[in-house]
Every structure is written in C-alpha cells, then in structure tokens.
C-alpha cells in the first residue's frame, strides 16, 4: 500500500500542463537492411503529460524480405528543443518484431523531429537508433542511421 501511495504522490507532483492531451499517430517506414526490402505501417496512440514529456504505443504490420511480421513499439518522448513550431525530440523506445517463430528487439534512443502544421496536426520523422538489438539469441550494439531505421509519420492531437 505504501508503494501505491508513493507512486500516486510522484505522479501528482509531476508538472502537468492544463492542455495535456491524447494524440494518435500513423507511421510508415521503408528501406533496405542487408539487401532485403523492409516496409512497416504502424498506427499508434499516446499522451502528452506536459511541454516536455509524452508516452505512447505503436502497433503495426511489416514486411521484411518477403516475410510478414507484427511489431509493438512502446516509447517515452522527451522534447529537447522547440520554437513552438519545430521540435527536436529524443525517444527512448523498445521495438519488438514477431512472426514466423522469430522475435527481434531493439532498445535505445531514437532522434526525432516534428513540425507543427496547425494546432492539431504535426508531421514527424524518426532517424536511426542508438542502443542495442536482440537477434539470434544474442544482444549486439545498434548504432547509426540506416534507411531501414528512417520512419515518417503524422500526429493528430485531440
């Protein structure tokens, strides 16, 4: 019970802006990885807690080298800089792909930029991953920007 009360106090003490709001996203990524074509379509939903912090979850479908897979992508986004219309973010995310008995995972920091189109709509791009990848029962570093790690999307604030 003490832990529940402690977490409630922590959450209540976090600065939440008056217009904190839910948002929906749609992301598309296309590229090549190890000479294999990759396509992913991922709708998502999230919540902006204040001007700096947001959290969300994307779930989608993709194709890699002719094989279909599913993907789940929880993330926390921190706004590093903005001028009211252009935003530079850092997203801590974990991306898991599953299908045909295989599971792959990425965990790390993703650089991201957003451009506010109007009060409700924004366009964004995620570029690369700086973290680790799990494949074939082993973890390995995953650093850099490749075409397979570039994702573009739109965001709608409710």
What is the pLDDT, as a whole number, of residue 123?
Answer: 97
For residues 18 and 59, the model is more confident at: 59
The CATH number of the domain covering residues in 16-157: 2.40.160.20
Residue 39 above 70 pLDDT? Answer: yes
Per domain, the residue ranges of the chain are 16-157
- pTM (two decimals): 0.81
Percent of the chain with pLDDT over 70: 85
What is the pLDDT, as a whole number, of residue 14?
Answer: 45
Q: Which of 78, 142, 140, 83 lies closest to 112, judged by CA? A: 78
Percent of the chain with pLDDT over 90: 58
Q: Which of 54, 47, 31, 45 lies closest to 129, judged by CA? A: 31
Beta-strand pair 150-157/67-82: unpaired
What is the per-residue pLDDT across 104-134, written as a single tens digit (0 to 9) for each?
A: 899 999 999 999 999 999 999 998 899 999 9
Mean pLDDT score, 35-47: 92
What is the per-residue pLDDT across 56-98, written as a single tens digit (0 to 9) for each?
A: 999 999 998 888 999 999 999 999 999 989 999 999 999 898 9
């Amino acid at each position: 019970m003490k832990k529940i009360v402690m977490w409630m106090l922590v959450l209540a003490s976090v600065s939440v802006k008056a217009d904190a709001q839910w948002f929906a996203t749609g992301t598309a990524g296309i590229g090549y990885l190890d000479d294999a074509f990759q396509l992913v379509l991922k709708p998502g939903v999230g919540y902006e807690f204040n001007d700096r912090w947001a959290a969300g979850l994307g779930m989608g479908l993709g194709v890699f080298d002719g094989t279909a897979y599913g993907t789940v992508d929880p993330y926390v986004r921190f706004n590093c800089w903005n001028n009211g219309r252009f935003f530079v973010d850092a997203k801590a995310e974990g991306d898991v792909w599953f299908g045909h008995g295989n599971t792959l995972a990425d965990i790390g920091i993703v650089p991201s930029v957003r451009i506010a189109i109007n009060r409700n709509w924004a366009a964004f791009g995620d570029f690369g991953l700086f973290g680790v990848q799990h494949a074939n029962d082993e973890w390995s570093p995953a650093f850099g920007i490749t075409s397979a790690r570039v994702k573009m999307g739109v965001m709608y604030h409710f």
